Structure 1
């Protein structure tokens, strides 16, 4: 692909992400994405033949971005591997503190379209599975019992939803404290 084509696709995905995450997938039509991206409607449909294809591309890119951001943050944490497990919740606090935080794009999209759009449901499941696998790797590296990974992932998911609804990043701190209790219990 040429650089111009890649740049155009990125502009479209940037616009789609801002609009879908900010307003919701159902509330945003292809014309709004066209306007925000500055790409002609004909070109937009050449790149993404349907809204469902664009939504799927948006979710795939968001998945890669979020998981990369989490891993970069966590892997930079010094100290024992156990600290990297707890750092998940520090990263969540930073994410929840962003001014445009609206919760999990996958949960939001699934809530809007999951029952009628199998590709959205599949993208949401794939993201949640990838997150849980990442937590499981951290748990294993810290030599903690494997079942703890699912418990910590559920804590994180609860914090993500609660922060979106409450409008405060504090659920990340509360979940971090609960994670420390679970880790200590697992060590005992």
Structure 2
């Protein structure tokens, strides 16, 4: 097993365990056991748990954001694009292993702890806000901020009560904001 294979196996195990059970609840020995990567190689690839957590969140950010961007990319106009965001969320919230936002979960567990982890969380939220600004259309920065609050709120509600309903309710609120010209002037 080379370092790249070990990295992939460790990240796969970390993502499954951290997302399902929490970062602090899962130790490095459990990651090693679940991944099948020898301890020496684990610490060669990720010298500390902070490095593994950062890499897990970074990889999840890239995949999550790319998937959401893909769902929005074919939209003909801002109304359709914003609707696509909430349709995508409804599908995500309905996945059997949905446990809320991995980034908010990490922040909730670690707070302002490890700087590298906090940087990934902040970058993810900035990217999400930029995606929403693109979806909302030019000159609608305030609307993007409002949409971000709807997305985050729906995600938290869905973490407590999984299923598509929180996304649908947030989509209705977003449609009201769009019709009201939210974020203009």
Alignment CA distance shift 1:185-1:144 (3 Å): farther
**1:37 Cα deviation from its structure 2 partner:** 0.6
Are 1:24 and 2:22 an aligned pair? Answer: yes
CA distance in 2 between partners of 1:88 and 1:25 (Å): 28
Aligned residues: 183
User: What TM-score do the two structures reach when normalised by structure 1?
Assistant: 0.92
**1:109 Cα deviation from its structure 2 partner:** 0.5
Between 81-90 and 32-41, report the one with greater CA deviation: 81-90
Contact preservation (8 Å) 2:3, 2:41? no
Contact preservation (8 Å) 2:87, 2:167? yes
127, 132, 150: which one aligns with 1:130: 127
Contact preservation (8 Å) 2:94, 2:162? no
CA distance in 2 between partners of 1:92 and 1:31 (Å): 34
Output one character per residue of 1:160-185: Cα deviation in whole Å (capped at 9) or x when no partner. Answer: 00000123321000000100000000
Q: What's the Cα RMSD here?
A: 1.7
- The 3-state SS of whatever aligns with 1:186 is coil
CA distance in 1 between partners of 2:103 and 2:72 (Å): 21
CA distance in 1 between partners of 2:150 and 2:161 (Å): 16
Unaligned 5+ segments in structure 1 are: none
76, 80, 84: which one aligns with 2:81: 84
Contact preservation (8 Å) 1:114, 1:120? no
CA distance in 1 between partners of 2:74 and 2:5 (Å): 30
CA distance in 2 between partners of 1:31 and 1:169 (Å): 36
